[in-house]
């Protein structure tokens, strides 16, 4: 079995042929056309040499995976089904390929160009961050073996990147395509985990520099959850660097990875919706604009339809969404709330529904994408939010996720609520030190985006009484009558403040 680079132009990749016996399949990888290589025709020399050592029946099964992937891409039209079927085939591929066996072969027979400056041990004066950013000689050898292990994915990556070009914008495409590996054992390998450590350390290093926080915010508002930035960078590293690395000729792979990460991090504001700036109030800062914390910033453009397709796909993985926010939550509990929201198709979406989902799910899905989700996807997001709030003990706030306003007959005056405590105020000054520019006669409490968000949400909530619609299984645990409209408690501001602090501690 062989991988043959064909139809190269100016030292770039165009097509790859996978050949086995008298059978062959050609794959379009022109999406890699911007990556200039030293000698594309030798890219698979080590992989092909290793493949020759495998039993014929194993090579047959590996080639069958490519046949199946090709048939899926050619014949299946449903976007989600294509992705699911490809994930299964990739998992099969890597159940057939043994990383440890390949790694041993690389050490004994691989033709590898290893940088001479690599160290065998850490210096005694290295700090923890520096150690995470340092690849020792053994780490580097594992990384090269990992690169070879991923090379059989290059034809599939290239074809699928082209296949999804109409549905997903460029900034999300690598991230989406990398998830083909999510059901395989690849993501459990030590070199993959070592890369995760390196990427997170690189982000930490860059965030210590000026303006890094605003650049990261661009990515969050542009379509990534805050916890997805490392995974997004991983997709750039693997798909654009690791998988096409020329180990027989190339420079240091880890140096290439470092330059890719720093370049991507420093251009986040350009990649995701433009530079994020603090919103400057044009009128009274106390105007009821019903903004969330996320909406205290201006972004140059909205999320595209293709990117929303990706976000909608993520909401179908509601258990993953919940575990990203809090791994301790019981999956069965999440399923209870999701099943309940499946029955609430007629629920009228309120402003606080959206804001609470934006707050709670910000690690798993972009806050900016939540209001634009279609109704079924939004209900799943709200179900996960309600499950998490219930899990954390925020009973009242959780119930408000499926609450509907009671008809107002003109008698509702709203229940007076307690002010945010001194402790919460001081805590918010630590969490959100960036102040909005205000005129001199405005109280500094109004300058903090956290306190401002509390005021807006609580003001909205006390404007109505609410009918709660919780899952049947938790009604017995409630101290309120769900058949009667309920006023929000006087402690709602304190509860919301505790929630924001909780979210910052996750």
Average model confidence (pLDDT) for the chain? 83
The predicted structure's pLDDT at residue 218: 53
Residue 332 has pLDDT above 80, yes or no: yes
Residue 150 has pLDDT above 90, yes or no: yes
**Looking up tokens 């709200």, which residue turns up?**
382
Residue 94 has pLDDT above 80, yes or no: yes
In SS3 terms, 454-491 reads as HHHHHHHHCCCCEECCCCHHHHHHCCCCCCCCECCCCC
The two structure tokens encoding residue 292 = 């969330």
Residue 360 has pLDDT above 80, yes or no: yes
The predicted structure's pLDDT at residue 93: 98
Comparing 127 with 211, the larger pLDDT belongs to: 127
User: Of all residues in the chain, what percent carry a pLDDT higher than 90?
Assistant: 48
Residue 172 has pLDDT above 60, yes or no: yes
Residue 66 has pLDDT above 60, yes or no: yes
The predicted structure's pLDDT at residue 275: 43
The predicted structure's pLDDT at residue 459: 85
The predicted structure's pLDDT at residue 69: 97
The predicted structure's pLDDT at residue 304: 52
Comparing 251 with 178, the larger pLDDT belongs to: 178
Summarize the confidence of residues 24-30 as an average pLDDT.
Answer: 95
- By residue count, the chain amounts to 506
Which has the closest alpha carbon to 28: 162, 138, 181, 164? 162
Which has the closest alpha carbon to 148: 43, 227, 296? 43
Report how far residue 425's alpha carbon sits from residue 421's, in angstroms, rounded to the nearest whole number: 6
Comparing 467 with 265, the larger pLDDT belongs to: 467
37 within 8 A of 57, measured Cβ to Cβ: no
Residue 331 belongs to what H/E stretch? helix 331-342
User: Of all residues in the chain, what percent carry a pLDDT higher than 70?
Assistant: 81
The predicted structure's pLDDT at residue 292: 40
Residue 295 has pLDDT above 50, yes or no: no
The predicted structure's pLDDT at residue 222: 53
Segment of 124-133, 264-273, 401-410, 484-493 carrying the highest mean pLDDT: 484-493
266 within 8 A of 215, measured Cβ to Cβ: yes
Which has the closest alpha carbon to 307: 366, 255, 254? 366
Summarize the confidence of residues 28-35 as an average pLDDT.
Answer: 90
The DSSP secondary-structure symbol of 184 reads S
Report how far residue 154's alpha carbon sits from residue 18's, in angstroms, rounded to the nearest whole number: 11
Residue 14 has pLDDT above 50, yes or no: yes
Comparing 302 with 342, the larger pLDDT belongs to: 342
Span 207-264, pLDDT tens digits: 777 554 445 555 554 556 556 788 889 999 999 999 999 998 868 999 999 999 988 8
Residue 293 has pLDDT above 70, yes or no: no
Comparing 266 with 464, the larger pLDDT belongs to: 464
- Angle CA 330–334–338, to nearest 5: 170
Local confidence band at 309 (pLDDT 50, 70, 90 cut-offs)? low
The predicted structure's pLDDT at residue 314: 67
Segment of 66-70, 134-138, 308-312 carrying the highest mean pLDDT: 66-70
The predicted structure's pLDDT at residue 22: 94
The predicted structure's pLDDT at residue 75: 92
Residue 121 has pLDDT above 90, yes or no: no
Residue 303 has pLDDT above 80, yes or no: no
Residue 376 has pLDDT above 90, yes or no: no
Residue 277 belongs to what H/E stretch? strand 277-278
Local confidence band at 425 (pLDDT 50, 70, 90 cut-offs)? confident
The predicted structure's pLDDT at residue 221: 47
User: Which of 106-110, 166-170, 389-393 has the weakest average pLDDT?
Assistant: 166-170
Local confidence band at 205 (pLDDT 50, 70, 90 cut-offs)? confident
């Amino acid at each position: 079995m062989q991988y043959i680079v064909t139809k190269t132009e100016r030292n770039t990749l165009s097509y790859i042929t996978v050949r086995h016996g008298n059978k062959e399949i050609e794959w379009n990888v022109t999406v890699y056309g911007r990556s200039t290589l030293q000698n594309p025709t030798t890219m698979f020399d080590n992989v092909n040499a290793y493949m020759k050592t495998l039993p014929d029946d194993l090579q047959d099964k590996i080639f069958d995976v490519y046949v199946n992937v090709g048939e899926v891409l050619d014949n299946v039209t449903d976007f989600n089904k294509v992705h699911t079927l490809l994930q299964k085939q990739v998992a099969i591929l890597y159940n057939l390929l043994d990383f440890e066996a390949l790694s041993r072969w690389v050490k004994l027979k691989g033709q590898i160009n290893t940088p001479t400056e690599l160290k065998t041990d850490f210096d005694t004066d290295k700090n923890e961050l520096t150690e995470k950013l340092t690849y020792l000689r053994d780490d580097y050898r594992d990384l090269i073996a990992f690169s070879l292990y991923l090379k059989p994915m290059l034809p599939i990556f290239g074809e699928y990147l082209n296949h999804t070009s109409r549905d997903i914008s460029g900034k999300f495409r690598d991230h989406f395509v990398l998830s083909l590996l999510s059901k395989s054992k690849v993501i459990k390998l030590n070199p993959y985990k070592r890369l995760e450590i390196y990427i997170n350390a690189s982000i930490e290093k860059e965030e210590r520099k000026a303006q890094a926080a605003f650049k990261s915010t661009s990515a969050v508002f542009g379509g990534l959850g805050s916890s997805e930035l490392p995974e997004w960078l991983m997709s750039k590293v693997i798909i654009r660097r690791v998988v096409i690395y020329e180990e027989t000729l190339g420079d240091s792979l880890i140096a290439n990875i470092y330059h890719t990460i720093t370049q991507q991090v420093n251009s986040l504001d350009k990649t995701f919706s433009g530079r994020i700036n603090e919103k400057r109030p044009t009128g009274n800062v106390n105007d009821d604009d019903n903004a969330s914390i996320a909406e205290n910033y201006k972004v140059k453009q909205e999320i595209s339809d293709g990117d929303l397709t990706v976000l909608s796909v993520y909401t179908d993985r509601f258990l993953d969404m919940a575990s990203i926010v809090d791994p301790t939550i019981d999956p069965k509990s999440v399923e209870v709330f999701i099943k309940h929201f499946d029955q609430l198709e007629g629920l009228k979406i309120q402003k606080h529904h959206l804001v609470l989902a934006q707050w709670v799910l910000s690690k798993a899905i972009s806050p900016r994408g939540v209001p634009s989700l279609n109704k079924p996807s939004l209900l799943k997001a709200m179900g996960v939010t309600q499950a998490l709030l219930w899990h954390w003990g925020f009973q009242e706030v959780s119930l408000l996720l499926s609450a509907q306003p009671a008809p107002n007959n003109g008698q509702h005056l709203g229940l007076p609520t307690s002010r945010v405590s001194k402790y919460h105020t001081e805590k918010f000054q630590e969490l959100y030190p960036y102040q909005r520019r205000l005129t001199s006669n405005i109280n500094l409490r109004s300058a903090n985006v956290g306190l401002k968000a509390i005021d807006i949400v609580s003001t909205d909530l006390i404007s109505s009484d609410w009918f709660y619609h919780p899952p049947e299984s938790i009604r017995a645990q409630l101290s309120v009558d769900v058949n009667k409209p309920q006023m929000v408690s006087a402690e709602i501001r304190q509860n919301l403040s505790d929630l924001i602090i909780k979210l910052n501690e996750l």
